[in-house]
């Protein structure tokens, strides 16, 4: 799943239009136009499609955190990560939606997908820690799908 796919799926799950996605990114002091968003949302076969960098996807996720939870008083917007793993994406979505383990399990249940509590916890550990596990693409895909089911 590419960053473009992830943004496309999140846009659908939250029922955002291109201008709303641009506003979310603008929350981290980034000037993005709806034309930029449209080029990321278009299918790869489209001649106007452009690849979405990890940095820009991170800006969207950080903007989503600010939109859903509010900005931290006295703190500047976070610096976007240069390399964004699926674990980081899942973590940022968890923070944005203020979900605990039970809430995460509920989202997975919406997608008819089962993840154990210990498996879920392993995705949020620090890389290199003994119980760390890399988040499989299918888990992230099912989580985003479950978000879309929840909103519907």
Mean pLDDT per segment of 10 residues, for the chain of length 152 residues?
A: 94 94 89 90 83 94 93 82 95 96 94 94 94 96 91 52
Q: What is the pLDDT of residue 151?
A: 56
Cα within 13 Å of Cα(117), Cβ side: 4
Listed residue (9, 5, 17, 40) closest to 149, CA to CA: 9
Q: What is the pLDDT of residue 150?
A: 66
Q: How far apart are CA 122 and CA 111, in angstroms?
A: 20
What are the extents of the domains in the chain? 3-69, 86-151
Q: Hey, is 51 helix, strand or coil?
A: coil
Q: How far apart are CA 108 and CA 91, in angstroms?
A: 15
Are 5 and 42 spatial neighbours (Cβ–Cβ below 8 Å)?
no
* Model confidence, pTM: 0.91
Residue 85 has which token pair?
């793993």
């Amino acid at each position: 799943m590419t960053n473009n796919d992830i943004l496309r799926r999140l846009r659908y799950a939250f029922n955002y239009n291109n201008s709303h996605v641009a506003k979310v990114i603008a929350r981290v002091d980034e000037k993005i136009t709806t034309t930029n968003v449209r080029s990321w949302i278009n299918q790869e076969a489209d001649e106007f499609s452009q690849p979405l960098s990890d940095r820009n996807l991170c800006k969207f996720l950080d903007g989503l955190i600010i939109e859903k939870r509010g900005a931290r008083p006295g703190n500047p917007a976070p610096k976007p990560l240069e390399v964004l793993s699926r674990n980081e994406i899942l973590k940022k979505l968890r923070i944005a939606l203020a979900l605990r383990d039970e809430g995460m399990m509920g989202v997975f249940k919406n997608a008819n997908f089962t993840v154990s509590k210990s498996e879920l916890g392993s995705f949020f550990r620090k890389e290199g820690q003994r119980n760390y596990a890399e988040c499989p693409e299918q888990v992230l895909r099912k989580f985003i799908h479950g978000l879309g089911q929840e909103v519907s």
